Amino acid sequence: MRHPKNKIVSLEEGMRIIASQKIFDKKVVFTNGCFDIIHRGHIEYLFAARELGNFLVIGLNSDNSVRKLGKSPSRPLQDEISRATTLASLFFVDLVIIFDEETPHQLISNILPNILVKGADYKPEEIVGYKEVVENGGEVKTIPFIAGYSTTAIEQKILKGNQ
């Protein structure tokens, strides 16, 4: 079993590992997000994503990237290494690559996964990286969320409990 810290890799190392997976006909699945407080919704979503292929890669927004997204001023609640370590600790996650841009477009363009996945609140053709993945023979899929689970909702519940 790989230690979680060995699953957190740079883009360059990730590209090498992903290329080797593809040589062995592994279906590489990619998704991305902030994953600030891991909750049941994340677990169900990520597990469903992994089941679409053989190798799950998560693009994780860096702290700077999360701030650029305009979420609550207190976000991220956890630093990028803590968030990456939590994700990498999940047995069904194979790699975590931290990216600093607002979107994972550059990351997706470099790794060209076989399957690009986002939540069902997106239309596949609106997902960042759709064009590149499809033009490379890959698929873009969406996975439904479990209602009532979100980091924002958890943050609000905690804040209300402290008042």
For the stretch 34-56, pLDDT in tens is 998 899 999 999 999 999 999 99
Give how many domains the chain has, as a whole number: 1
The rounded distance, in Å, linking the Cα atoms of 25 and 32 is 22
Report residue 130 CA to chain centroid gap. Answer: 15
Strands (E), the chain: 8-9, 28-33, 55-61, 95-99, 115-119, 139-143
Predicted model pTM: 0.90
Residue 70 has pLDDT above 90, yes or no: no
pLDDT of residue 69: 86
Compute φ and ψ for 121, nearest 5 degrees. Answer: -80, -5
Domain holding 83: CATH number? 3.40.50.620
Rg (CA), the chain: 15
Full domain range(s) for residue 56:
4-161
For 99-120, write each residue's pLDDT tens digit: 999 999 999 999 999 999 999 8
pLDDT of residue 154: 61
pLDDT of residue 158: 64
Q: What burial class does residue 87 get, using C-beta atoms within 10 Å of its C-beta: 0-12 exposed, 13-18 middle, 19+ buried?
A: buried
Return mean pLDDT, the chain. Answer: 91
Strands (E), 4-150: 8-9, 28-33, 55-61, 95-99, 115-119, 139-143
Token pair 């040589």 is found at: 23
pLDDT of residue 155: 60
pLDDT of residue 150: 61
